[in-house]
Amino acid sequence: MASRAATTTTPPYPSAARISDSECFPQYTASLKCLEEFSSDKSKCQEHFDVYKECKKKEREARLERNKSRSLFS
């Protein structure tokens, strides 16, 4: 049973990123709060979506830049 407890504390895919680890987590939660506030009326939350989308774009570009020098074959 001890081995099972060890597997539940370790994520099944340790390399997979969690949204809460993202630099864009505050923008993500702000967009969800907006949807809650306006009863899922997406049109009233467009600004929050745009800010989150821009953050994710910058995060992706930074990750690509960091990984440029890495190779799958080295």
Tens-digit pLDDT string for the chain (74 aa): 444 544 455 555 555 568 788 899 999 999 999 999 999 889 999 999 999 999 999 999 998 888 887 767 75
Q: List the chain domain ranges.
A: 41-67
Half-sphere exposure of residue 41: CA atoms within 13 angstroms, side-chain side: 5
* φ and ψ of 52, to 5 deg: -65, -45
What was the pLDDT predicted at 35?
94
Tell if the pTM clears 0.75, that is, is over it.
no
Residue 58: CB atoms within 10 Å? 11
What was the pLDDT predicted at 21?
85
| CA-wise closest residue to 28 among 43, 59, 57, 49 | 49
What was the pLDDT predicted at 5?
46
